[in-house]
Amino acid sequence: MESAAKGGFFPTTEFDGVHDALFPHYDEKGNKFVEYIGDRGSHIDLPLDEIVKVFDEKYGLYIITFTDSVTPANNDTVAFHEASNSWISYYNFIPEMYSSFGETVILFKDGLLYTHADNATYCNFFGTQYAQEVHIVFNAGLDNMKVFKTIAVHSNKRWEAPDSGDITTPATITYPAGMSSRLRAPHFLDIEGVFRADFLQNELTSSGSPVARDLLEGEDLRGSAIRINLKNSETGIVVLNEVEVGFGLSV
């Protein structure tokens, strides 16, 4: 507990040798601290046979793939950036094995050999083209309920959050399902090199399930925090410098 206090957080459950000692999602200042993305079951020891990894010398990344032979939907590939001491990305590819030669990362899939990041087409893994996606969590003043009004994306390309659930606020006593919304690419206007949009309304207002009319006639987006999943279908380099969220205090 003393170490946790020095780190600015308190575990949700203190370790007692029996129960899982879980870390909180946010620290005392409201900053994102940890995110649990899946339950991979109980293991007596670290399941090394379910983990494949490689170090990318060129970009200073540890690329790690976690596999689950029982539930393949739990498979994940993530990247840890050594210089910034942070986890910086998810990847869509799940290789069977990694290797490297100098600065070249080599992946194996279905008995074939692939080299990683060696052409101008981004987000194409094993012949399948994927979208680029960034998840933004805005939680300034976590103790305050806010009305979210605007978003500004500083980027060289237009992004969108087009699907139900791409924009969400957490559940509360007043709104037990939280709130949900979306924004398609045409909603973002290029104003002096910044893509700006007004948030639409809560699409869960009338029935608790997404209703298109509620995007225009529903409740204002309210919450202590908001999560925005930005997406685009670009196949080249995209620069995302900053995302701003405009809000007012809920009264």
3-class DSSP state of 23: coil
pLDDT in tens, 123-168: 999 989 999 999 999 988 878 899 999 999 999 999 999 999 999 9
**Residue bearing tokens 């840890």:** 80
* Centroid of chain to Cα 216: 27
Q: What is the structure's pLDDT at 11?
A: 54
> Would you say 201 and 220 are in contact if contact means Cβ atoms under 8 Å apart?
yes
Measured distance CA(146)–CA(139) in Å, rounded: 10
Give the global pTM.
Answer: 0.76
Instruction: Give the pLDDT confidence of 163-211 residue by residue, as tens digits.
Output: 999 999 999 888 899 999 999 999 999 999 999 999 999 999 999 999 9
Spatial separation of the C-alpha atoms in residues 85 and 62, rounded to whole Å: 11
Torsion angle (degrees, nearest 10) of CA 17, 19, 24, 25 = 130
Facing residues of 216 across strands?
A: none
